[in-house]
Amino acid sequence: MRDESMQDEKERQYAYIERARKHVEKLTKELGRKPVYHVTTFGCQMNARDSEKLCGILEEAGFAESEEENADFVIFNTCTVRDNANQKVYGRLGELKGFKKRNPHMKIALCGCMMQEASVIEKIKESYRFVDLIFGTHNIYKFAELLCSMYEAEGMLIDIWQDTSEIVEDLPVKRKYPFKSGINVMFGCNNFCSYCIVPYVRGRERSRGPKDILREIEALAADGVVEIMLLGQNVNSYGKNLEESITFAGLLREVEKVEGIERIRFMTSHPKDLSEELIQVMKDSKKICRHLHLPLQAGSDRILKAMNRGYTKEEYIALAKHIREEIPDMALTTDIIVGFPGETKEDVEETISVIKEVEYDNAFTFIYSKRTGTPAAAMEQVPEEIVKEGFDKVLKTVQETARKRVKRYQGQVLEALVEEVNEQDDSLLTGRLSNNTIVHFPGSPSLIGKIVKVRLTECRGFYYLGEIEKEAEAYGRI
């Protein structure tokens, strides 16, 4: 029954895409040219994937993509995980106002996590009246319908849902890269870390059925995709709400069998739910990349408890050590927050000691940002100067240890997936190693999308310079 109603919903949305085509045809006549769109994405990989879905629908409706934000239809897919992401959106909206004055046909839409916050909607209604359409994270699958309603109505259209259990499959998608793609395996988060707004704006955990996921991956492989990234806020709890009994490790085993897929990545793993089964699947796999992102957040047990993370410093270190023992070439990266309420200098030292012990290949370090409605917002905040001092110290430690880790492959030949022509120097290509390190090397753009063997000649901190291994080329392995 549920599957049937999802199927009906998909058909409804395709009907709206047809209807949107009529609006775009009318606009084409008025403008005397094909209308153009621009999607600006803030935030994480999930948002990047959502944006590909928005682009897919806009292209099907007849818009062409524009590199410029000064387009006929502009959409900001927003993030609200930290306040600076929100501030960026307001700043950029100010610029759009100027463009819209000069192009009366221009329409502006906002979607994504930030729109799930009531205070944001109030602010936009008050100070950004020129916005035409606002929707949230739960009804993004209705974008075609909302697009039609926007063209058919006057004034600002706002449609925000508090939650949903629906997952609508098989709507159009326009991938940014032909050879790699993200795939949602689950939506939402049930963890309620006390600093984090995600569970409030993305809703409760919902896993997609394994058959739907595999069907999508098979279709991607048939379309030339060689690398996939399975996406979820907490992939290790995949399958918990499904009728069939399946774990994330079990899903990975199935994904491994898809022919044509050569590399598998996933994001994000919560340390408290990482199973031995998953470690063994990674160890045995030929395709799962040698990179695991394992957010630490803090190293002090007191702060970890206040954050509601569900593990201690010792448990985390033991897990990291065990992974490195089982899979020695596994790169470990992490997220760290400095300045959580109540965090002292001694607590920051505990975080630093974990960084030194684990020796991350890379770490994203964030200054704690107070998010309205989360439990941590009501706790006593740490003064800015103290946070800054701790942040600088953590960053320095991360850089020192990461440099050492990244360098250990110097001189070796490893496989890289060629992603693009180097942005600064167009005689170079940019590729990504299985462990997620970037390498730049001379080569022809015809290699983009291929996996090549590269000798890593010089480590430059977080990345390498290299050259394609000639012998490998001669043997036709690239």
C-alpha angle 193-194-196 in degrees, rounded to nearest 5: 65
Answer for which of 337, 416, 451, 452 binds ligand 5AD (CB under 6 A) is 337
Pick the closer one to ligand SF4 by CB: 79 or 323.
Answer: 79
Pick the closer one to ligand SF4 by CB: 73 or 200.
Answer: 200
Complete edge-to-edge strand list for the sheet that includes strand 64-65: 64-65, 36-41, 73-78, 107-112, 133-135, 157-159
Least distance (Å) from ligand SF4 to the CB of residue 332? 17
Pick the closer one to ligand SF4 by CB: 107 or 309.
Answer: 309
Placement of tokens 């009529």 in the chain: 22
**192 touches ligand SF4 by CB under 6 A:** yes
Least distance (Å) from ligand 5AD to the CB of residue 196? 4
**41 touches ligand SF4 by CB under 6 A:** no
Which does residue 192 touch among ligand 5AD, ligand SF4, none (CB within 5 to 8 A, set by kind)?
A: ligand SF4
Integer Cα distance of 294 and 281 in angstroms: 17
Chain centroid to Cα 49, Å, comes to 7
Which does residue 236 touch among ligand SF4, ligand 5AD, none (CB within 5 to 8 A, set by kind)?
A: none
Answer for which of 159, 301, 335, 467 binds ligand 5AD (CB under 6 A) is 335
User: Site residues for ligand 5AD, window 356-375 (CB under 6 A)?
Assistant: 366, 368-369, 371
Answer for which of 199, 209, 375, 449 binds ligand SF4 (CB under 6 A) is 199
Pick the closer one to ligand SF4 by CB: 181 or 374.
Answer: 374
Angstrom CA distances, 186 to 163, 291, 354, stand at 14, 20, 30
Placement of tokens 């508090």 in the chain: 162
The site map against ligand 5AD for 70-109 (x = CB under 6 A) is -----------xx---------------------------
Answer for which of 73, 128, 195, 200 binds ligand 5AD (CB under 6 A) is 195
**201 touches ligand SF4 by CB under 6 A:** no
The site map against ligand SF4 for 210-239 (x = CB under 6 A) is -----------------------xx-----
- The count of residues interacting with ligand SF4 (CB under 6 A) is 10
Pick the closer one to ligand 5AD by CB: 189 or 451.
Answer: 189
The site map against ligand 5AD for 282-301 (x = CB under 6 A) is -------------x-x----
Q: Of the ranges 184-192, 218-226, 280-288, 451-459, which one interacts with ligand SF4 (CB under 6 A)? A: 184-192
Integer Cα distance of 365 and 296 in angstroms: 10
**Interface ranges with ligand 5AD (CB under 6 A):** 81-82, 195-196, 295, 297, 335, 337, 366, 368-369, 371
**Interface ranges with ligand SF4 (CB under 6 A):** 189, 191-193, 196, 198-199, 233-234, 270
